Amino acid sequence: MRIKDSFNSAFDSIHHGKMRSALTMLGIVIGIASVIILMSIGQSAQDLIISQVQGVGSNLVIILPGGTISGKNSTPSSVAGIVTKTLVQADVDALGREPSVSQIVSAVKGQAPAVYGDNSLNAAYVGVTANFFSVVNFPTKEGRQFNQNDVDALNHVAVIGSGIATTIFGNVDPINQYMPLGNVEFRVVGVLSNQGTGSFGAEEDDVVVIPITVAQEQLLGINYLSEVIVQANSAYNPTFVQSRIESVLEQDHKITDPTKDDFTIETEQDLLSLLGNVTSIMTLFLAAIASISLIVGGIGIMNIMLVSVTERTKEIGLRKAVGATNKDIMQQFMVEAVVITFLGGVIGITVGAIFAGLAYLILSHVLSTGWTFEFPLSAVLLGVAVSTITGLVFGIYPARQAARKSPIESLRYE
């Protein structure tokens, strides 16, 4: 029997049993659509997370005070809550002489109540040098950023996140309003564009950005730094820049054993790689859960194909009487199962794409960030391959049952 005849027979059978074929396909459609939707959303989420990390600025190296607690890749002690004072202005000056370094942002962090009228919020603030806005790509949507003069003159100016602007100021335009933060009153000069949750802090729309000099001297009373952000010179390889920073700081801190470094260096590459791995694993995990529905769909196919074999016993007998071999009958039913699951897969991919598009519309509206529509080709190929394999796997048993039928008993079947 030619394969073309098997396909003709399969399409004829599907055409004449439209409702049954549709119900058979449904399980596969749901399974494939689920996998496609999750893979699409997973890919979009991965892209969003990575773009937000990249949005902080390209070629960035973050230096945190304190070494790691238990090895090179473990948590920095400063992140773990241990106050360390090992990162100071002298380090920034030393790094400033390094040719592979392009820009340096010094930062301190703290938390204090921000008040306007009857509204208040326990706000996270960051004291930074004036180049912070350009280096970490924090544009303002209203007003202005503060400049080096503001930093040098200890001006009480603040740029606030869009979340704080809404929470504290409500409908009032915050520009040039005065807002006490802790025991110091600041004049709001700018509002940041929406940032969402990013790498720089927990919720970057709720952060208050003030000159580092004011934060160090008047709010915190410290002379050390919480973080130094280095922008690598684009002419140099980031790995080389990282090693240069390590050398400069070890030299500055008179450290001879690299395992005893009192600082931790994190690069954007490390973070991107880690986030990429985490989101990929999550996407695959979710897709694996969704694929359970494919198994359920496959069992549905096997069930309905078995019913179909019984219903078509007389047809099987007739085909055998006119010369069909067991292999011919097996081929016919296998092709039918594969055609049904393949069509189910194609419909599932289409349905998945539609729902992924709807998810994009909803999520981009709800998150108000750069949520993109992703429809990975790998998901399409996976959908087609998995649906076809499902047909092959779950079509074998009914096809074998059909092939094994005795021609004379099949012809007698009523």
Partner 1 sequence: MISVKGLKKDYLDEETVTPALRGVSFDIEKGDFVSIVGPSGSGKSTLLQILSFLDRPTGGVYTFLGKSIDDMSDKELARVRNKDMGFVFQSFNLMSRLLVYENVEMPLIYAAEIDPARRKKLVEDAVKSVGLEEKLYVEAGRLSGGQKQRVAIARALVNKPNVIFADEPTGNLDSVSGAQIMQILDDLNSQGHTIILVTHETYTAEFADRIITLKDGLIESDKPIKTRRRSKEQFFK
Q: Contacting partner 1 (CB under 8 A), which of 192, 309, 324, 402?
A: 324
Minimum CB separation of residue 406 from partner 1 in Å reads: 8
Instruction: Show the site string, 325-354: x = touches partner 1 by CB under 8 A, - = not.
Output: xxxx--------------------------
The pattern of x and - marking residues 170 through 199 that bind partner 1 according to CB under 8 A reads ------------------------------
- Which is closer to partner 1, CB of 141 or CB of 404? 404
For partner 1, give the closer residue by CB, 12 or 93.
12
* Amino acid occupying residue 401: Q
Q: Which residues pair with 264 in a beta bridge?
A: 64
- How deeply is 339 buried, as exposed, middle or buried, from its count of CB atoms within 10 A (0-12, 13-18, 19+)? buried
In 56-190, alpha helices (H) = 89-96, 132-135, 148-152, 162-169
Distance of CA 248 to the CA centre of its chain: 35
Read off the DSSP letter of residue 333. Answer: H
C-beta atoms surrounding 97 within 10 Å = 8
Q: How many residues line the site for partner 1 (CB under 8 A)?
A: 23
In this structure, is the dihedral angle defined by the CA atoms of residues 12, 14, 18 and 19, taken in order, positive or negative? Answer: positive
Pick the closer one to partner 1 by CB: 156 or 319: 319
**Residue 16 lies near partner 1 (rule: CB under 8 A):** yes
- The tokens describing 326, both together, are 């067991």
Binders of partner 1 in range 283-322 (CB under 8 A) = 314-315, 317-322
Which whole-number Å values give the CA distances from 193 to 54, 164, 185, 395, in the listed order?
Answer: 16, 12, 23, 56
Contact set for partner 1, span 228-247 (CB under 8 A):
none
Nearer of residues 192 and 309 to partner 1, judged by Cβ: 309
- Please report whether residue 3 would count as binding partner 1 according to CB under 8 A: no
2, 18, 254, 365: which one contacts partner 1 (CB under 8 A)?
2
For the chain, give the number of residues.
Answer: 414
CB nearer to partner 1: pick between 316 and 347: 316
Q: What DSSP character marks residue 88?
A: B
Locus of tokens 């008993």: 409
With CB under 8 A as the contact rule, the residue among 5, 93, 185, 311 that binds partner 1 is: 5
In whole angstroms, what is the distance from residue 228 CA to residue 226 CA? 7
Q: Least distance (Å) from partner 1 to the CB of residue 278?
A: 54
Assess 7 for contact with partner 1 (CB under 8 A): no
Asked if 345 contacts 386 with a C-beta cutoff of 8 angstroms, the reply is: yes
CB of 325 to partner 1, least distance (A): 4
* Sites of contact with partner 1 (CB under 8 A): 1-2, 5, 12, 16, 314-315, 317-328, 406-408, 411
